Structure 1
Amino acid sequence: MTEPISGLPAAPASLLAADGQPLFGRYAGQVGGIDWSRLAAPFARGRLWRRFHHKRWHYVALCTEEVFCAVAIVDLGWISTAFAYAFDRKDGDMLANFSEDGLPLVSATLADHAGGSSRFTTRACDIRLDADGAGGYQLALRCDYLEVDAGFGPSPSPLLLASGPVANGSVHATQKSSAMPLRGEVRTWRDEFKLDGGVASFDYSNGLLARNTAWRWASAHNMELGFNLQAGYFGDRENALWLDGDLIALGPAHFLYDKKDALSPWHIFTEDDMLDLYFTPEGARRDHRKMLLAASRYLQPVGTFSGWVRAAPDQPKRMVSQLMGVTEDHSSRW
């Protein structure tokens, strides 16, 4: 079997140097535990500030020809939350759409790196994402109208690690996977779906973010190619293409779509002339909240990408047709 390659440097064991300075950049591979409490100036912040600005989330996408399912556990420092949904690809129906808030340190336990385990437990919901230490994961979910038992991984392609500064915040790091082999089952109030033969991917993020944070995101994967794109608070630092096992850094991404029509087509391209895609939504998860001290506008359309990608500006284009994935438009005051 050919070993996966990457033009990116190998991930360091820690994102902090011995002097407390963060190691910013894009890397390939798994980093160890992330502990921002040891940050040195000018990125250091007091304990109380870190408490309210430390944001972490663990997001998993499960995809087959029949169903798309997404699960997320989020710790916002002063509150925790989780959501899960199952989308029937053949009928275009949202079969389950669950979300619940909980108490930090009580309801949610977030891993300190992508190779760890995360949990969210309340009276109405129990979500357990456990890593096996060898690059594989087990996901068990029990919520209203939705149950998931899934295993996935290890990834045949390198993980992306990205870290960098955040305006009006401090620092942020994220790990993204491309497609991982999937097995298991999703059960809804109406149908049961076998996951065997599908693909899974994850997003683990951990940072000290600004009070007002916004981004647009796109992600889709199969075993031959995949991509992760973001425009917003983190710039182009996490933009990457996985192509035949190789992990390739991409430039800034642009997201063009009609914000007044969530299910209108999106046009997404990168400035380096290495990706140009059109996204056709088939459904969407929305969650808009306005509280006394916080607010959130969240839109995650589910659909397919078509267009082309390539490994370098002078390389042949690889056509992309009906690749299942998601886009996202998210703004938060948190």
Structure 2
Amino acid sequence: MSIQQPASRHDEGPAALPAAPAGVIGADGLPRFGRYAGQVDGFDWAALAAPYARGALWRRFHHKRWHYVALATEHVFCAVAIVDVGWTSTAFAYAFDRDDADMMANFSQDGLPGISASLAGHAGGASRFRTRKSNIAIDSDGAGRHRLELRCDHVEIDAEFGPGAAPLLLAVGPIAGGAVHATQKSSGMPLTGQVRTWRDDYDLAGGVASYDYSNGLLARETAWRWASAHSLELGFNLQAGYFGANENALWLDGRIYPLGPAHFLYDASDPLARWHIFTEDDLLELHFTPDGARREDKNLLVAASRYLQPIGTFTGWVRSGPEQPKRMVHQLVGVTEDHHSRW
């Protein structure tokens, strides 16, 4: 099924995205497929009409949500995620020292179904993960300012970030083997706070934060490759896999632009070698040099996950349209990802 783009424009200029609709589902029960600039306040998949409607039991096992936050400074990169897969939950967090390429903390914990995790209903909401020995909280004040608090083995984080100068990306699209998926991605946002590890403390002031809130009815087998990196002036989100090109976007000087299908060229047997990433519309070409990676493979019999997230820097160029000048990218810190889940 093709993705229909609204005719109206959010802003003047090359390929600027239209403004986000009031909701991801129309009054007729059909998803509002497309890419938009702005935030919506809910994802009520129970309101879907045919052919996307599914029963409550099916939705219970196929409804997947996650809230991911990245924090980047000159010296440290941290990522934190809370994930609800419908029948269980999980969370992870890591702190990576960029100066000596050392993974100082790498936390991962499965939760008790229906107890450990509470996922926000939209990108501006609150998400929680709590076990006997760990606590993660992601909050928003409703005005674009966010807070992350984390307490777990070997790392503590107190971070505040936002608001961003550019709008959120909203992407809504169909899912083969599932039904519908939607995601909200942020641009780079000013960051303050502190990361405390067993070895050192890190001041986050002057750094950049970004987040990913995703919510959809996915297929049991779901796989993707992903790349994300941000400064306060420039950033991008790229995905190839289950969601096609729907969430591919470029943030540039306060505006957001759609990007075409992305290609990820790398050696799967040596993921810490250089990656080559480009889009078919000739608006982005980057090389990614990994400094380290977080890996995790799980096999729970009824479910499995193979996860690789290298941390490193991107160098290359981007532009907002085919006739626009290229903006050079030099050692922009971020991540790539290769992930396959049976959930």
Q: Tell whether the 8 Å contact from 1:4 to 1:157 is kept in structure 2 after alignment.
A: no
Instruction: Find the aligned partners of 1:216 and 1:153 in 2 and give their Cα distance.
Output: 27
Measured after TM superposition, the shift of residue 71 of structure 1 is 0.2
Q: Deviations over 1:10-40 (max 9, x none)?
A: 1112111112111110000011111101110
Instruction: Find the aligned partners of 1:55 and 1:211 in 2 and give their Cα distance.
Output: 10
Letter in 2 for 1:131: S
Residue from 176, 180, 186 that aligns with 1:171: 180
Q: Deviations over 1:64-116 (max 9, x none)?
A: 00000000000000110000000000010000000000023210000011010
Residue from 9, 34, 46 that aligns with 2:55: 46
Q: Deviations over 1:244-270 (max 9, x none)?
A: 111010000000000001201100000
1:77 corresponds in structure 2 to 86
Q: Deviations over 1:123-178 (max 9, x none)?
A: 12100111111011111100000000000001111100000000000000000001
Instruction: Find the aligned partners of 2:269 and 2:298 in 1 and give their Cα distance.
Output: 18
3-state secondary structure, aligned to 2:28: coil
Instruction: Find the aligned partners of 1:30 and 1:251 in 2 and give their Cα distance.
Output: 22
1:261 corresponds in structure 2 to 270
Measured after TM superposition, the shift of residue 278 of structure 1 is 0.2
Instruction: Find the aligned partners of 2:299 and 2:114 in 1 and give their Cα distance.
Output: 23
3-state secondary structure, aligned to 2:139: strand
Measured after TM superposition, the shift of residue 4 of structure 1 is 8.5
3-state secondary structure, aligned to 2:80: strand
Measured after TM superposition, the shift of residue 314 of structure 1 is 1.4
Is residue 2:154 matched to residue 1:158?
no
1:146 corresponds in structure 2 to 155
TM-score (norm 1): 0.98
Q: Deviations over 1:41-76 (max 9, x none)?
A: 000001000000000000000000000000000000
Is residue 2:171 matched to residue 1:137?
no
Instruction: Find the aligned partners of 1:133 and 1:279 in 2 and give their Cα distance.
Output: 34
Letter in 2 for 1:214: A
Is residue 2:318 matched to residue 1:309?
yes
3-state secondary structure, aligned to 2:46: helix
3-state secondary structure, aligned to 2:105: strand
Q: Tell whether the 8 Å contact from 1:269 to 1:276 is kept in structure 2 after alignment.
A: yes
Q: Tell whether the 8 Å contact from 2:11 to 2:18 is kept in structure 1 after alignment.
A: no
Instruction: Find the aligned partners of 1:22 and 1:309 in 2 and give their Cα distance.
Output: 31
TM-score (norm 2): 0.95
Instruction: Provide the identity percentage.
Output: 72
3-state secondary structure, aligned to 2:42: coil
Residue from 16, 23, 32 that aligns with 2:41: 32
1:247 corresponds in structure 2 to 256
Instruction: Find the aligned partners of 1:219 and 1:142 in 2 and give their Cα distance.
Output: 25
3-state secondary structure, aligned to 2:57: helix
Residue from 23, 26, 34 that aligns with 2:32: 23
Dislocated runs of 4+, deviation >3 Å: 3-6
3-state secondary structure, aligned to 1:305: strand
Instruction: Find the aligned partners of 2:86 and 2:63 in 1 and give their Cα distance.
Output: 6
Measured after TM superposition, the shift of residue 9 of structure 1 is 1.2
Instruction: Find the aligned partners of 1:313 and 1:196 in 2 and give their Cα distance.
Output: 36
- 5+ unaligned residues in a row in structure 2: which ranges? 1-9
Instruction: Find the aligned partners of 1:261 and 1:81 in 2 and give their Cα distance.
Output: 27
Letter in 1 for 2:266: Y
1:290 corresponds in structure 2 to 299
Letter in 2 for 1:97: N
Instruction: Find the aligned partners of 2:11 and 2:258 in 1 and give their Cα distance.
Output: 15
- Superposition CA RMSD, Å: 1.1
1:186 corresponds in structure 2 to 195
- 5+ unaligned residues in a row in structure 1: which ranges? none
1:213 corresponds in structure 2 to 222
Residue from 284, 287, 298 that aligns with 1:278: 287
1:198 corresponds in structure 2 to 207
Instruction: Find the aligned partners of 2:112 and 2:34 in 1 and give their Cα distance.
Output: 33
In the comparison of the two structures, how many residue pairs are matched? Answer: 332
Q: Which moved more, 1:11-20 or 1:248-257?
A: 11-20
Letter in 1 for 2:272: L
Instruction: Find the aligned partners of 1:323 and 1:228 in 2 and give their Cα distance.
Output: 13
Is residue 2:17 matched to residue 1:8?
yes
3-state secondary structure, aligned to 1:185: strand
Residue from 81, 93, 118 that aligns with 2:127: 118
